[in-house]
Structure 1
C-alpha cells in the first residue's frame, strides 16, 4: 500500500490518501479533516511512525518514505524499494473460548490488582492542606520515612513520652541521619500543637536550636523530622545511670547554649517565640555536647513589645 498525508496551510486542511503500491495517487482522499497544524509543528521536531494490530497477529513494515515541510514530497520508484521480509510460519491459532478465558482472567487480575493498589494508596494517603504551602517546611513522604527508620522498629527507638515516640533514621539518598518524632493518636500533643511546632520551628535558624528538617502527615499520624542529636537529651546525664558524669565546663557550655537560643527566640527573631516547656528532656546534645533546645509543641508566637 501507499499512503499520502498532505496539509493545506491556507485551508488548514489535512488530507490522507491511500492506494495499492503500484497505483498512482487517487484524486479523492480517503480522509479529510480541518486541523491547524501551525499550533503543533515546531521549528525543530521529529517525524515518526506508529502501528497497531487488530484481533489477529500482523506485521507492519515501512519500505520507504518521503517528507517535505513545504511543497510536495519527493516521489519514489516503488519497484526500487526493498522486498518484504519472508513471512513467518503461521502457528496454530488458539480457539475463541481460550482467548475469551484469557481475556476474562486478565480483566479479573487487573481489577484485583487495581483494587489492592487503591486500598494500599488510601492507607498510605497523606493529608495536605492550604496552610502547608504557606508555612510548611520541607515535606517528607511517609514511604521514605518508613524506609529510613526500618519500618519504625523498636531497635531504632530513641525515646518515648507523652507525645509519642522518637525514632532514629537514615535517609538513604543523602546518608543524612535524622530523628523522627511520631506523635501518637491519643497524644495530648494534637493537631494544634503540631501546627504550632511546624510554623514556629520551621522558620527558625540558630545553632542552639534543634533544626526541624521537615514533616509528614498521614491519616491520623503526625511526624516531625529533626537533625539527629548523637548524645540524646540532657536528662539522661542528670543522673549518671552508668554514664560518665558531665564536667563543669561541659555543663556551663550547655547552659550558655540554651540561654543563647532563648535570647534568639525572645529578642532576635522577627517575632517573639515563647517556648513554655524548658526542661532537661527538651535540651538535646549534639556530637560536641552543645546544648540545643527542641520540642516546640507548646510554643506560642507574639509580636515584639506586646
Structure 2
C-alpha cells in the first residue's frame, strides 16, 4: 500500500500546505498535537510577485539604456571632434593641432574665453592640455576659392617666421567648413584698446617708444631681413599686440 498526498488548483492561484500527519500500519494512529504544529507560511502578496517580474525587467531596460546611451555619446563625441585630413597634409603634420585639443583648450569655445571678433571669425583664449601653454585660437569660416593646399602651404610658410616682435603662428587645424589658426597668447591684448578705450590705463611715453621700436624692428625683418620679402600692408593699432611686458608684437594676417 502506498500513502501520499494530492492537491489541485482551479483558475485562481492557491497554495496547499502539509503541516503535520500521523499514520500507522497497525492499530490506531497517534493523535496530533495541534498546538505543536507550525503556523502557516506567510502568503506572498500579488504585489511581491509582480515585483519579482518588474525589477528584473527594469534592470534589463536600464542596462540597455546605458549601453545605447554610451554608444550614442561616443558617436556624438567622435562627430564633435571630426576633422578634415588629406594625404598631402602629412608634410605639414608638425604644424597641425587636433580639433579635440583645441576644443578642450578653449572649454568648447565658450563665450567666457572669447578675446574678440575679427572680420574672419572669433578669437578665443585657450590652454593646451598637453603643455598648459596659453594660446589664442582664431576660429574662421573658410569658403575660399583658392586651392586649400596652397592655402595651408602659406600658413605653414608664415609659421616659419621667427622674430621677437612678431606674434608667432604656432599651427592650424581644419574641420568641415572651418579653419582654426593657433597663435601665441598676448595677455595685454591689442594696442588700440590702450589708445582709444578710456577703461585702459594710459601708456607712458617710454612704453609708447618701446612699442614703436618693436613694430619697426618686426617690419624691417619682414620687408628686408627674412629669406623672402613679406609685405605686411595692414599696420594699424588693432594689429599690434602687447605681451606681458608691453612689448609691441605685429600680428601678420594671411588673408
TM-score, length basis structure 1 = 0.55
Q: Corresponding residue for 1:133?
A: 90
Q: Corresponding residue for 1:176?
A: 133
Q: Give distance in 2, aligned partners of 1:254 and 1:196.
A: 31
Q: Corresponding residue for 2:202?
A: 245
How far apart are residue 268 of structure 1 and its match?
1.5
How far apart are residue 172 of structure 1 and its match?
2.8
Q: Give distance in 2, aligned partners of 1:154 and 1:191.
A: 29
Return structure 1 stretches of 4+ with deviation > 6 angstroms.
106-116, 186-190
1:205 is the counterpart of 2:162: yes
Q: Corresponding residue for 1:61?
A: none
Q: Corresponding residue for 1:64?
A: none
**Larger strand share, 1 or 2:** 1
C-alpha contact 1:136 1:202 (8 A) present in aligned 2: no
**Larger helix share, 1 or 2:** 2
1:151 is the counterpart of 2:111: no
SS in structure 2 opposite 1:244? Answer: coil
Structure 2: tracts of 5 or more residues without a match: 1-62
1:163 is the counterpart of 2:112: no
Q: Give distance in 1, aligned partners of 2:232 and 2:183.
A: 17
How far apart are residue 262 of structure 1 and its match?
1.1
TM-score, length basis structure 2 = 0.65
SS in structure 2 opposite 1:132? Answer: helix
RMSD of aligned alpha carbons: 3.3
Closer/same/farther in 2, CA of residues 149 and 229 from structure 1, 3 Å limit: same
1:285 is the counterpart of 2:238: no
Structure 1: tracts of 5 or more residues without a match: 1-105, 299-306
SS in structure 2 opposite 1:272? Answer: coil
C-alpha contact 1:140 1:216 (8 A) present in aligned 2: yes
Deviation by residue 1:20-62 (Cα, 9 ceiling, x = unmatched)? xxxxxxxxxxxxxxxxxxxxxxxxxxxxxxxxxxxxxxxxxxx
Closer/same/farther in 2, CA of residues 227 and 132 from structure 1, 3 Å limit: same
> Structure with the greater relative contact order (CA < 8 A, sep ≥ 6): 1 or 2?
2
Q: Give distance in 2, aligned partners of 1:147 and 1:165.
A: 17
Q: Corresponding residue for 1:42?
A: none
Q: Corresponding residue for 2:56?
A: none
Deviation by residue 1:102-141 (Cα, 9 ceiling, x = unmatched)? xxxx999989976775565355321123453335652111
Q: Give distance in 2, aligned partners of 1:282 and 1:154.
A: 22
Q: Give distance in 2, aligned partners of 1:235 and 1:189.
A: 32
Closer/same/farther in 2, CA of residues 121 and 259 from structure 1, 3 Å limit: same
Closer/same/farther in 2, CA of residues 137 and 266 from structure 1, 3 Å limit: farther
SS in structure 1 opposite 2:230? Answer: strand
Q: Corresponding residue for 1:51?
A: none
